[in-house]
Structure 1
Amino acid sequence: MDLKIKASLIWITVIPAIAVCSIVWLSQACFGQQKEEGLPVNIPDSVCFSAEIIELTENQGENYFVNYRIKREQTRQETLNMLEPLLASDITETRSQAQQRWLDLSDKISREAEIENVLKMKGFTDIVSEVNTQKATVTVLTNQLKVQDMFIIQNTASEITGFSVDQIEVAVVKDTSEKI
């Protein structure tokens, strides 16, 4: 199987799995430990992850996306580790704020994964996205970004995030495997 296709298939399955597992863990952490109100929630005590090692290629453009995803996942994990003790806090306000941060992060992860998956289904080779409260940035692997591609990227990201097209930035990483 072609390395590009294999890497794309890996990320198409890994990102949604991470988002789902995060939401399950969030539900357990946020709602399974509340003492003041609510109904009991039946959520498993553990979540299992599986990983596949991805080899770097000669293509520096592809390596950018692999490295970006690794760094993004590390940053998210650090954030989750910092929120964990706050989610278990006995102080209602602290726990409430941590729950909101967790939900915001889960929403961000979900929207980024959706943008990436939808654009890959529309034919883009590799993509990463970053969504914050003010804008979304979509980085695409290509040598030449056509006007129609820019339109597709901006409209897709706009539909998913609710941002106007002006709030969608598109960046290009050169594909060193393509022959010009």
Structure 2
Amino acid sequence: MAAPGFHARFSATGKIYTYRVCNARSLHPLEIGRVWHVPSPINIEALRQAAEILSGSHDFAAFAANRGKPDENTFRTIHQIAVKRTGTILSLRFEGDGFLYRMVRLLTGSMVRMAQGKQTLEWMRSFIDSPSARKTSYCAPAQGLCLSRVLYGQKRGQRRPQAASGLVPEEAIER
């Protein structure tokens, strides 16, 4: 049973999204609709370099589709972007305190474009350095994106809340 005052959306302290990309000439039939198929080569080290640039607290206005809300606060913190290859599947795992509308898809699309050699690392950095100057137009498709986990309880860098705090039982907080 949820504690009084608990709200599934507003009590969350963070989210983890996973975006899967199939980087092979052909797509396995069971992966259709579950991954973004990118047949041209992707440099995984370039993806990791982009992940380093994007991690941290920044104004992510360049990576947001504001849905007619131009005054929305676009500052967010990405704690980590992990890039992993398993066979032909690339997994990009985004952990942050919250994400803007389409932010993960815009980040992924831009990272992949850069990792294909179609843009530079400086191009990627320019979106962080001057977020209001321009927006990226490289949005990855919805297939491949998955909300992996919603985090409740403590924020990164804070002490673990007591079980009596009412938000989450102590044993439910992932370590």
- Please say whether Structure 1 and Structure 2 have the same fold, judged by a TM-score greater than 0.5: no
Greater strand share, 1 or 2?
Answer: 2
Larger % of helix: which? 1
Instruction: Give the TM-score category using the shorter length.
Output: under 0.3
Report which of the two structures shows the higher radius of gyration computed on alpha carbons: 1
TM-score, structure 1 as length reference: 0.27
**TM-score normalized with structure 2 length:** 0.28
Tell me which of the two structures has the higher relative contact order, counting C-alpha pairs closer than 8 angstroms and 6 or more residues apart. 2
